[in-house]
């Protein structure tokens, strides 16, 4: 189980780092969007802060996952981002749903593996 944890943590870390660096360094062209997702994305881009903030969180959490430091905190910080990635893909871009499912399952798996660190949060 320890090896599975390291593999999931590393894969998620690499994916988050790649996605954030690709955004900040403009490594890949922006994919063409259509329909409801295009309207949604233009609203997020128009806010000027949401997308860079989410990508910064992805970068920091990706580094945390790769180094193995502060993983418990990174799991909680990145959870809302992975939930939003999942929901956007579920309702607007279902062709990319497998990646979103892998991310949400990976995040939930890491929370499960580090559950002992979260117990004190749930005690009254």
pLDDT of residue 33: 82
pLDDT of residue 29: 85
Between 122 and 8, the more confident residue is 8
9, 68 in Cβ contact below 8 A? Answer: yes
Phi-psi label, residue 93: left if phi above 0, alpha if psi -120 to 50, beta otherwise: beta
Residue pLDDT, tens place only, 74-88: 999 999 999 999 999
State the Cα–Cα distance between residues 93 and 88, nearest whole angstrom. Answer: 7
Give the domain range for residue 56.
Answer: 2-27+35-122
State the Cα–Cα distance between residues 9 and 1, nearest whole angstrom. Answer: 12
**How many domains does the structure of the chain reveal?**
1
Residue pLDDT, tens place only, 3-52: 999 999 999 999 999 999 999 999 988 878 888 888 888 899 899 999 99
Q: Is the dihedral of CA 32, 34, 24, 69 positive or negative?
A: negative
State the Cα–Cα distance between residues 3 and 95, nearest whole angstrom. Answer: 30
Q: Give the Å distances, CA to CA, from 113 to 46, 98, 105, 107, 122.
A: 38, 22, 12, 10, 16
Q: Is the dihedral of CA 94, 33, 40, 55 positive or negative?
A: positive
Residue pLDDT, tens place only, 56-78: 999 999 999 999 999 999 999 99
């Amino acid at each position: 189980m320890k090896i599975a944890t390291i593999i999931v943590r590393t894969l998620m870390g690499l994916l988050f780092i790649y996605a954030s660096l690709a955004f900040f360094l403009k490594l890949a062209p922006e994919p063409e969007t259509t329909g409801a997702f295009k309207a949604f994305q233009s609203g997020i881009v128009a806010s000027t802060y949401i997308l860079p903030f989410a990508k910064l969180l992805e970068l920091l959490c990706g580094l945390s996952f790769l180094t193995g430091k502060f993983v418990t905190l990174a799991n909680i910080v990145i959870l809302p981002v992975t939930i939003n990635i999942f929901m956007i893909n579920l309702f607007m871009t279902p062709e990319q749903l497998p990646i979103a499912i892998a991310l949400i399952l990976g995040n939930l798996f890491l929370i499960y593996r580090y559950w002992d660190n979260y117990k004190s949060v749930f005690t009254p």
